[in-house]
């Protein structure tokens, strides 16, 4: 069996390009691999210990998606009762305010009143339930309610605020938050 004289790592070695020697020529410059490493200047401050590093949380961008969570594009479909949709369309025509801005105005107006709007005083589930169930008011449908939908686009950061409020007040039910906010906003306006 013939012995293989090539090293398996032979192709990975850095080789200096040798120039043909001429009279009075200096030696070829050493290759980066042959030069001694330059050490960085010592820092003025001592390096933080592992305990100090563990205690400092990584900075998190506000409203940034967490691991496993996707950034929302802002496209939503608003599904509200037909009478509320008619009011929304009429208000849009009369005021010349865009649909997303009417929605944001309604949520902004309702925000300081949300504890009152979403009060769970009639809930069959007691507060501090043994099983961790949320106190909710059952909503019984009276007949067949008609709903209309409208597609709209909100800025992702605005939608993140709405979703945060929905998580706090309606157990992540964005539709309920928007419907109650729009109804209360409509009822507060003159005329």
Where helices occur in the chain by DSSP H, the ranges are 50-55, 82-95, 99-110, 114-117, 156-169, 174-188
Query: Which single residue is written with the structure tokens 């106190």?
Result: 135
Instruction: Count up the domains in the chain and report the number.
Output: 1
Residue 81 pairs in a beta bridge with: 147
In tens digits, the chain (191 residues) has pLDDT values of 555 555 555 555 555 555 555 555 555 555 555 555 666 655 555 555 554 444 444 444 444 445 445 555 788 999 999 999 999 999 999 999 999 999 999 999 999 999 888 876 666 666 666 676 666 655 545 556 789 999 999 999 999 999 999 998 888 889 999 999 999 999 999 87
- The answer to the question of residue 79 being in a domain is yes
Is position 8 within any domain? no
Instruction: Answer whether residue 19 is part of any domain.
Output: no
166, 177 Cβ separation under 8 angstroms? yes
Vertex 114: Cα angle to 66 and 171 (nearest 5): 45
In this structure, is residue 67 part of a structural domain? no
Give the range of the structural domain holding residue 107, as residue numbers without chain letter: 75-122+146-188
């Amino acid at each position: 069996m013939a012995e293989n004289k090539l090293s398996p790592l032979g192709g990975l070695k850095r080789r200096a390009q040798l120039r043909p020697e001429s009279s009075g020529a200096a030696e070829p410059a050493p290759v980066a691999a042959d030069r001694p490493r330059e050490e960085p200047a010592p820092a003025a401050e001592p390096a933080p210990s592992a305990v100090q590093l563990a205690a400092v949380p990584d900075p998190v961008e506000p409203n940034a998606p967490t691991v496993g969570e996707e950034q929302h594009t802002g496209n939503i479909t608003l599904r509200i009762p037909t009478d509320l949709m008619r009011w929304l369309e009429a208000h849009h025509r009369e005021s010349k305010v865009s649909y997303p801005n009417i929605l944001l105005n309604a949520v902004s107006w309702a925000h300081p009143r949300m504890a009152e709007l979403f009060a769970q005083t009639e809930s069959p589930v007691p507060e501090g339930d043994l099983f961790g169930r949320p106190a909710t008011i059952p909503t019984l449908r009276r007949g067949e309610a008609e709903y209309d939908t409208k597609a709209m686009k909100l800025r992702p950061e605005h939608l993140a605020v709405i979703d945060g409020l929905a998580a706090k007040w309606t157990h992540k039910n964005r539709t309920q938050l928007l419907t109650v906010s729009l109804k209360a906003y409509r009822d507060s306006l003159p005329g």
